[in-house]
A and B are shown apart, each in its own frame.
Chain A
Amino acid sequence: MNILNTLVAWQWATLAAVPAAIILLYFLKLKRQPQRVPSTYLWSRTIEDLHVNSIWRRLRRNLLLFLQLLLILLIVLSLMRPGWRGVELMCNRFVFLIDHSASMCATDESPNRLENAKQSALQCVKQMKTGDVAMVISFSDTAQIVQTFTQQRRLLRQRINDIRPTNRPTDLHEALKAAAGLANPNYTRLQDNQAVD
């Protein structure tokens, strides 16, 4: 989980003071009504051994105080803006470009880079909704379409799994060009001149 910091230090300090102030105010506001009784003899005997845990007892019975503290806690939490960083598919047309050049055989990640890349691609496939289409391109110095646009996730998974490592160098331009052309043919032509360079 990541926390996006939205406040500076002194603002955080002010915020931290709020729950403390609530508890403090709660104890300050406790004003006891005087009541005349015949004798406090029995009462003082009653509360004699309750003194030890009286603070906890008092706190336990105060739902309102706890609701206030809970509210403050929730506000603090929302100000912290907690969230998970990850990949989410936003559109309904995807092109998965998977590099299977020699460098992808490096085992600095376990089991190797290619396997990890394939796993990431499979994760994305899993996220696809019904009606979304995707294609798979594997590339090294040349790009080849492993699977054209399809809705069948089972087929996509199978194709991704079938990608095998090669011992060729990497050419990203080639792959992007192929992908751009397939994903959005008109747009690709427009961009062609710049992309080649």
Chain B
Amino acid sequence: MDTTTELLSPQLLARLERLELVSRKVFRGRLKGERRSHRKGQSVEFADYRNYVAGDDLRFLDWNLYARLDKLFLRLFLEEEDLHFYALIDASTSMDFGTPTKLQHAKQLAAALGFIGLVRADRVKIEVLGDSARNSGPALRGRRSLRRMLDHLGSIEPGQDVPLAESVRNFCLRNSGKGILVLLTDLLDKSGYEAAIRVLRAQRMDVYVIQILSPEEKNPDLQGDLKLVDSEDGDIAEITVSRPLLDRYQKTLAAFVQGARDYCTRRGIGFMATSTDVPVEQLVTKYLRERGLVR
């Protein structure tokens, strides 16, 4: 049970069970689920009547109406479908920082959201951003798949440094289905995050971007003359730490986060910036609830 307790504490599981993933759009699922759709089909939820046409299933005829009106009517029901939930985890080297690491935090978030989906009989797929073949996770359904989901999450290792846009495009090519997509990343990609978000936007999914930063990035504890080495591409930035420089950094960071927020919001994409020191439980049960991702 170590993976389970590591990623999701029992207390959290108990709280998550009461939640459900909310899609702002109604999507057509593949299998029967617990979600109402616009399609008419079979369920207990009555939707409408329509005239009988030769060839309709006789089982759905309303015999009471026939007795009363001597006409054949067909009873229609609302179809209940499943929802596709995708969690995309950025496992680049830059996510391997902080205590706990940003990647660990992303995994916990993905596990929590995935668990909510599993409990509600949605189709959950957790993927790692990176090259296509290796990282495509299993499509999971049902509470019994929790174990498999956590195992898959546990097997994710940092160090897959693929440009954000490229890996997102890769994912979109493989998963054409619609649904909810949560992108867990730090957005610290030198080639820019905009291209990636444009690709996601074109996918017509219900997209949420959760930006995870570590406290070390928010308030860098640096001193003296430093040569900062980028963990991903070895790029070097020479700085001499001083109060004005740190203030400037804070401003740049705030502008960066605000820029990402604006970019996403303007495109109908949910955006949330979080830090690894915010507990996952609080994040899911409070902030994501406010954003409307879970209910």
Contact = CB atoms under 8 A, between A and B. Distances in A.
Interface in B74-106: 93-97, 102
B229 A35 contact: yes
Specify the main secondary structure of chain B where it touches its partner.
mixed
B250 to A, nearest CB: 9
Interface string B247-264: 011001100100000000
A36 B249 CA distance: 17
Interface string B231-272: 110011111101001001100110010000000000000000
Interface in A35-77: 35-47, 50, 57-58, 61
B252 A38 contact: no
Interface size class of A (residues with CB under 8 A): 20 to 34
B225 A40 contact: no
A29 B43 CA distance: 78
Interface in A123-163: none
A37 B237 CA distance: 10
Nearest to B97: A38
B237 A47 contact: yes
A13 interface: no
A34 interface: yes
A38 B229 contact: no
A24 B222 CA distance: 26
Interface size class of B (residues with CB under 8 A): 35 or more
A53 to B, nearest CB: 11
B235 to A, nearest CB: 5
B108 interface: no
Interface string B105-135: 0000000000000000000000000000000
A105 to B, nearest CB: 71
Interface in A15-38: 30-38
Contacts of A35: 222, 226-229
Nearest to B244: A57
Contacts of B275: none
Give the one of A30, A39, A42, A45 with max B CB within 10 A: A39
Contacts of A61: 240, 242
Interface string A155-188: 0000000000000000000000000000000000
A43 B214 contact: no
Nearest to A33: B226
B225 to A, nearest CB: 5
A42 B253 contact: yes
Contact of A30 (B93, B217, B225, B249): B225
A42 B249 CA distance: 7
13 contacts: A36-B229, A36-B231, A38-B97, A38-B102, A38-B217, A38-B231, A40-B229, A40-B235, A41-B189, A42-B188, A42-B253, A44-B237, A46-B239
